[in-house]
Amino acid sequence: MKTFFKLSMGVLALSLAQQASAATYTVRVTGATAFRSATHKAIVNFLGGNATTGIPVRMAHSGGTVGAAAVNSGGTATNAEASNYATYIGTNGGDTYTIQATFTGSVEGIRDVGQGLNIPFIPASEVPATDQGFALAKRWGQATSTTAPPNATEIATSNMAFSDVDKTSTDFATVDLNTPELAGIIPFIWVANRGSTLTNVTPLQARALLTNGFVRKSLFTGVIADGADFNEFAPAADTTAGGYVVLTGRNALSGTRVATLAETQHGVFNPVQQFKLGATSGTQITSLELWPNTGAASTGDDPTLGNGGYTSGSGIASAMAFQGDQVDLFFIDEESNTIPLQTDEKVDLVSYVGVSDASTTVTNLGVRLGWNGVTYAGSADNQKIINGQYTFWSSELLFTKGTLSTGDNNFKTALLSFLNVQSNIGSSAIARGSMRVNRQTDGSLIGY
């Protein structure tokens, strides 16, 4: 009896010590969407959830196709992994974690974490108390990728952000952040619209587009007929020849845009001239409008003429589904007057996107273009990046601020480890451990 009593007291003491040492942490992450899907997977994995069912993790997120104001119970891993807003609750090592994610963009992430700005998160109170896993998650659909769902009511700061580019390439170079850690490699691809006959973009051609917004197609093809309007023997309005290559792209807060400006040597702080899809008819573009689409700043717009852009790559991929056989190019001045630039012209619409949006572009009957004579068609061509042949890529960085809590550090270590496994990050990125080459900063020379 005496021995049993001592053993029981020892077990009780150990149990009480374990309970006393258990902690509760709240971890928040924001920034670029490039590793969004992989980060959602990493969170579920960190909290001991099943990759397919999500059980036993509890969650609320903004994934799925429900309306912006609708609340649904249900969903899949795919819904959760596409979410820009999500909150998870679970345990790791006996500690309880609430992990909140709000994905906005690279530059926003650097700005928000660096300046300690409050941003919206889904509060823990919205997470179901008993329902578990993806199928029973509470979810709110988003109206757009930049619209927070109605339940993202917790306004708080984050000290962890992903970015496709270094802070020195942004307007927030002086914010106080810890030295970033490499999370992976993000490839980018030039694409063109349905019906385009273009095959390649060079740095000089890219800079001409970024500077002017549109150029004669002959500057890309070297074919006289593609510059017919400059030929005194050709009709000035002959729509069967000639034509223009026109640029569309992302807004100034996009890491994809910053990486493109660095890679092309246009200059990350220099303005650009980009068009947006105007009117369409069937499968045809009938007009393209120089950003902004109004004479004043609005969501996604920049009041500097031409310097605006799409808030997501999906908008560009959608625009690439249209052909440009007879297109009007125009802009709207400060007095809301429509000013024509060119009318009834053949147009090849080009842009820069990530791997996933390039695949969507091809599904939409658009085309991938080579960069400086080298093609990259996705993960099958990863060796071209790994060994330095294809250079249109950037480093995905994880920025943190200040002294991290034990919970933040535990999650960050697990997250970076998870992201270094190629199968965990999918086909839109490359695991950092695979690289044989590197670069010191965005758009810089590549070497060993």
47 and 92 Cβ atoms separated by less than 8 Å: yes
Same domain, 55 and 151: yes
Same domain, 192 and 321: yes
What is the rounded distance in angstroms from the CA atom of residue 81 to the CA atom of residue 151?
18
Reference 157, options 397, 399, 401; nearest CA is: 401
Quote the pLDDT of residue 241: 59
Same domain, 374 and 407: no
Q: Is residue 16 part of a domain?
A: no
Same domain, 147 and 99: yes
106 and 32 Cβ atoms separated by less than 8 Å: yes
Give the CATH number for residue 142: 3.40.190.10
The answer to which of 100-114, 156-170, 229-243 has the lowest mean pLDDT is: 229-243
Main-chain dihedrals φ then ψ at residue 84, nearest 5 degrees: -85, -15
pLDDT digits (tens, 9 = 90+) for 181-206: 999 999 999 999 999 999 999 999 99
Tokens of 400: 């943190």
Reference 346, options 205, 211, 198, 208; nearest CA is: 198
Residue 136: count of CB within 10 angstroms of its CB: 17
Question: pTM above 0.95?
Answer: no
Quote the pLDDT of residue 131: 83
Same domain, 442 and 431: yes
Same domain, 407 and 421: yes
Packed helices 255-263 and 106-114: angle between N→C axes, nearest 10 degrees: 110
What is the rounded distance in angstroms from the CA atom of residue 245 to the CA atom of residue 193?
10
Parallel/antiparallel/unpaired status of strands 181-192 and 367-371:
antiparallel
Domain that holds residue 144: 23-185+396-447
83 and 102 Cβ atoms separated by less than 8 Å: no
Share of the chain above pLDDT 70, in %: 88
**Residue 228 in this model has a pLDDT that exceeds 80:** no
Same domain, 40 and 166: yes
Same domain, 141 and 207: no
Same domain, 177 and 199: no
Quote the pLDDT of residue 412: 98
Q: Is residue 96 part of a domain?
A: yes
Same domain, 418 and 364: no
Domain boundary among 345, 362, 386: 386
Domains held by the chain: number: 2
Q: Is residue 15 part of a domain?
A: no
Write the single-letter amino acid at 69.
Answer: A
Q: Is residue 103 part of a domain?
A: yes
Quote the pLDDT of residue 120: 96
Same domain, 364 and 324: yes
pLDDT digits (tens, 9 = 90+) for 277-315: 999 999 999 999 999 866 554 444 577 899 999 988 999
145 and 313 Cβ atoms separated by less than 8 Å: no
User: pLDDT class for 16, splitting at 50, 70, 90?
Assistant: very low
Domain boundary among 364, 386, 408: 386
